Amino acid sequence: MLKGSKLYSVFTGKCPVCHEGDMYKESNPYKLNKIYEMHERCSVCNTKYKIEPSFFYGAMYISYGIGVAFAVAAFITSYFFIGLEVIPSFVSIIMVLIGLGPIIMRLARNIWINMFLSYDKNAKHKTSESGQD
């Protein structure tokens, strides 16, 4: 993953515009009391993360898709490759979704914001006076 690609921002939680500032106040998604706390703006390029009120509600759809993908992968792995019965396979789905829930939520938010903002290699040299809100 090279800086400048959307995947870099999605998997590192860095600013989607400059790829340097952190989006989240706490980098560990398993600190559940701070899981949704994001910086208002990027500390490097001053990009506003919450583009509009309730902006990240759309990330719920992304989260659903990621959750379904992990659930299907958990079922296929436990049922077909490990050889568990159906009920234990469904229990493995629940364990995977609970265990990876915070990571899924952050990935969904990162994917969602990267759908609307793009990398700009000169963003860190721009200031808030340049009209960026």
Number of Cβ atoms within 10 Å of the Cβ of 50:
13
Residues of the chain predicted below pLDDT 70: 1, 126-133
Please spell the DSSP secondary structure of 54-88, one letter per residue.
Answer: TGGGGHHHHHHHHHHHHHHHHHHIIIIII---HHH
For 80-100, the pLDDT digits (tens) are 999 999 999 999 999 999 999
Could you report the per-residue pLDDT of 107-124, keeping only the tens digit for each?
999 999 999 999 998 877
**Among candidate residues 114, 96, 86, 104, the one with its CA nearest the CA of residue 23:** 114
pTM of the model: 0.86
